[in-house]
Structure 1
Amino acid sequence: MRQSALLIALTTALVALPSLAADPVPEIERGEAAPQAVGAAHTLRTIPEACARLEGAFTGQADAPYRFAVVRSSPNCQPRARFVDAAEAKPSTGAGWVLNDLIRVPNASCQTQQAVVRVWRKPLAQAQATERDGQGQMRVYLEEMRKEAEAGKLDAVPLFAASMSVEGLPCGG
């Protein structure tokens, strides 16, 4: 029995290893979430500036083992950031996105399976400016920013995107 548990733990670690190597270090450091039962909806993370809550649930279905959604947190909330579809935005560090959070949720009834949610944040364009003047200051000039905004080169608000994958071995049954 003990060898079986060790084999499961090693297999889970080896299956998750390639995705761990590919991810940049997230801004938020967190441990693995508490294991969740099949069918139990749970909040993964709340993002107040986007008036959004990330919600998930294990389904118990082999073809779609985990359901994931971005849900509005309150009808009265005024967002200061916007959620975009990760499949369309294709967030990456090269495109100015920052890996904000990496959430791992184990399946309580299947020890070899976990849901992995990656939350990406894209700050405002002017916050990414790296050019400094002769005095070492970053300067923002109203006329230049106005022209960039009119040309559609600036985001109006910071952006968030979240992607989900299920890692590990599927369970039978």
Structure 2
Amino acid sequence: MAVARAQRRQAEIFRQAVLLAVLVAVAAVAAPLLAQPDTPERERTGTPQAVGAVHTVRTIPEACTRLEGVFTGDRAQPYRLDAVRTAPACQPRARYVDFAEAAPSESQGWVLKDAIRIPDASCPSRQAVVRVWHQPVEQTLERDGQGQVRIYLQDAQKQAAAGDMRPLPQFGAQLEVEGTPCR
């Protein structure tokens, strides 16, 4: 009788362990699906920056753009973010657009790529948060017999004259300053 009772107890513990393993597996699969819609693909924290020190926040090579930021020391606008062209000869394969005009959202096909936090060196409780959004565009480009995509100047000029230009992917950046002012 004691042996039968011990076997039943062992079977019950085994069932509970299996149920717990199944619940953990379900939670592991469901957690990413239930994540917030505006969760960035990558989050980073930059090095603390002094007031007046211009620094690169992120480079967007496809758009030939570099995002430069600076803590201004001004209470009205404590941080300024500017989009600067990387090189005059750079040929963009994407566009950088103003965040306010584009109003990116996931429902419109935009993807939140990065959330970059830049701490203020003189005020540890304050940080600038730059969120970089990307709107990819499906571009079906024809390949030649060698499997290469070839774009010929004459053909591109004809397409442009006919108004048959392919849409370009877009990038936009949103700036927020978090924390309390120190001065």
TM-score class, shorter-chain normalisation, is 0.5 to 0.7
Higher RCO, 1 vs 2 (CA within 8 Å, ≥6 residues apart): 1
Secondary structure of 1:118's aligned partner = strand
Residues in 2 aligned to 1:79 and 1:119: alpha-carbon distance in whole angstroms: 17
Q: Which amino acid aligns with 2:39?
A: V
- CA contact under 8 A between 1:125 and 1:155: conserved in structure 2? no
Identity %: 56
Higher alpha-carbon Rg:
2
- CA contact under 8 A between 2:52 and 2:70: conserved in structure 1? yes
Per-residue CA deviation, residues 63-113 of structure 1 (Å, 9 max, x unaligned), is: 110011000000000000001111011001111100011110000000110
Residues in 1 aligned to 2:175 and 2:138: alpha-carbon distance in whole angstroms: 26
State the TM-score, normalized to the length of structure 2. 0.64
**1:169 matches 2:180:** yes
**1:24 matches 2:38:** yes
Residues in 2 aligned to 1:102 and 1:75: alpha-carbon distance in whole angstroms: 28
Q: Quick one: structure 1 residues 155 and 119, their matched pair in 2 at CA, closer, same or farther if it must change by over 3 Å? A: farther
Choose the corresponding residue for 1:49, options 41, 46, 62. 62
Residues in 2 aligned to 1:155 and 1:103: alpha-carbon distance in whole angstroms: 31
What is the total number of aligned residue pairs between the two structures?
128
Residue of structure 1 equivalent to 2:79: 66
Residues in 2 aligned to 1:56 and 1:67: alpha-carbon distance in whole angstroms: 6
Report 1:127-146 matches (<5 A).
none
Residues in 2 aligned to 1:71 and 1:106: alpha-carbon distance in whole angstroms: 21
- CA contact under 8 A between 1:124 and 1:155: conserved in structure 2? no
After TM superposition, give the deviation of residue 151 of structure 1 in Å: 10
Residues in 2 aligned to 1:117 and 1:23: alpha-carbon distance in whole angstroms: 17
Report 1:112-151 matches (<5 A).
112-125=125-138
After TM superposition, give the deviation of residue 171 of structure 1 in Å: 1.4
Q: Which amino acid aligns with 1:93?
A: E
Choose the corresponding residue for 1:81, options 94, 102, 117. 94
Secondary structure of 2:70's aligned partner = strand
Secondary structure of 2:45's aligned partner = coil
Give the root-mean-square deviation of aligned CA atoms.
Answer: 2.3
After TM superposition, give the deviation of residue 25 of structure 1 in Å: 2.4
After TM superposition, give the deviation of residue 32 of structure 1 in Å: 1.1
Secondary structure of 2:101's aligned partner = helix
Q: Quick one: structure 1 residues 41 and 26, their matched pair in 2 at CA, closer, same or farther if it must change by over 3 Å? A: same
State the TM-score, normalized to the length of structure 1. 0.68
